[in-house]
Structure formats: structure tokens, C-alpha cells
Amino acid sequence: APEVMARLMPKRMMMGEGRELGFYYRPSPDGRRILLGGRDSSRAGDPAAPTLRLRNGLGEIFPELENVRLSHSWFGNVAMHRDMLPRIFEKDGVVYA
């Protein structure tokens, strides 16, 4: 509901935790949903585990959403340098990150 989103994310901005790859979230472009992501340490085990971790994280960040149904969930691998700093390169006029 719009009033819930206005209360939970009044500035409608991307937010992220300061912990190493903690949770990050933002409102959807239409302002009706919260898009939430975060680190998952599971490896090719139960495919429901990453969703459960995000579900629990959502409840920690926004307690009033603890029982709200998730409409979508996905997970995949992310590669990064061991110093955790982003890398940006340009080749032939195309920027890669």
C-alpha cells in the first residue's frame, strides 16, 4: 500500500548496510514493492536457502513486513576482487564493471 511504502521508505532512495555485503534495498520504480538483495553463503545446496535468508533479512529491517508474501526471488553467483573494491574498465568505447 502506498501509505506503508511512504512510512518505510519516505525518501524512496537506495539503502545499504555498512557490513561487508549486507542487505541492500530500494523501492521498485512504481513505488509498490521493495527490491531487496544481499549476500548468500550457500553453495549449490537447498535452492530455498537464499530466499529464506532474504525473507529473514526483510523481517529484521522492516519488522512489519515479516509476514508479507514474497512475489519473486532469484539468486546467482557474483564475482569480485578479494579487496572488495569495484573494478571498472573501458574497451572500445564500452564500459565494463
Give tens-digit pLDDT for 3-48: 889 999 999 999 887 766 688 899 999 988 999 988 776 665 677 8
The C-alpha cell 571498472 sits at 88
Of 18, 96, 87, 59, residue with least CA distance to 34: 59
Of 7, 46, 41, residue with least CA distance to 21: 41
Mean pLDDT of the chain: 85
pLDDT of residue 42: 62
Q: Residue 56 belongs to what domain range?
A: 2-96
pLDDT, tens digit, 9 for 90 and up, residues 62-80: 999 999 988 888 887 777 7
Specify the pTM: 0.69
Neighbours of 25 (CB within 10 A): 20
Number of domains in the chain: 1
Of 14, 11, 9, 32, residue with least CA distance to 24: 14
CA–CA gap between residue 70 and residue 73 (Å, rounded): 7
